[in-house]
């Protein structure tokens, strides 16, 4: 199986990207892999690391204390290259200037409205020549993700492990 971080790593290879963001970090496996395989890369980690009452996916049953500890353990070797925003996507984006990022990877909520909002919030943060991408591009499991991506982009790339992306 090819993991989502391997797919995105292939897509950014050789492009000289030095600054990315992951929206929806959970245990930090994506960031850990990206930083371990790209020594010049720094990342923004955006996640509230808490349940989300009222959201379509509320994640209230998850053990957020252990999940956050796992994330912190994973990024420890790369801590100086991670800027953590323990906030919801829309709140964290206020701290990141437009055009700053080389790429963004969206893997937070999976319903249409949330994905569309995340695309709209993070698209301006990516510079020309950068990559906006995400996970769960699967019409059977997450039709809202596919609908939102196609509403904003005419012909997104798709890759292994249900990844999507668009070079800007």
Instruction: Provide CB contacts within 8 A for 134, sequence distance 6+.
Output: 105, 106, 107, 115, 118, 119, 145, 149, 163, 164, 165
| pTM beyond 0.85, yes or no | yes
pLDDT digits (tens, 9 = 90+) for 73-125: 999 999 999 999 999 999 999 999 999 999 999 999 999 999 999 999 999 99
Tens-place pLDDT, residues 40-72: 999 999 999 998 888 888 888 999 999 999 999
């Amino acid at each position: 199986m090819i993991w989502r971080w391997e797919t995105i790593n292939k897509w950014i290879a050789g492009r000289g990207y030095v600054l990315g963001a992951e929206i929806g970090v959970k245990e930090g496996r994506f960031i850990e892999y990206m930083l371990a395989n790209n020594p010049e890369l720094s990342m923004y980690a955006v996640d509230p690391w808490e349940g989300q009452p009222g959201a379509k996916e509320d994640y209230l049953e998850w053990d957020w204390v252990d999940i956050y500890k796992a994330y912190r353990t994973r990024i420890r070797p790369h801590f100086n290259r991670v800027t953590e925003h323990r906030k919801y996507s829309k709140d964290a984006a206020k701290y990141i200037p437009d055009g700053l990022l080389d790429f963004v990877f969206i893997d937070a909520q999976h319903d249409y409205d949330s994905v569309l909002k995340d695309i709209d919030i993070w698209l301006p943060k990516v510079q020309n020549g950068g990559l906006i991408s995400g996970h769960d591009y699967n019409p059977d499991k997450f039709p809202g993700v596919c609908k939102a991506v196609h509403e904003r982009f005419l012909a997104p790339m798709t890759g292994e492990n249900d990844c999507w992306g668009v070079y800007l």
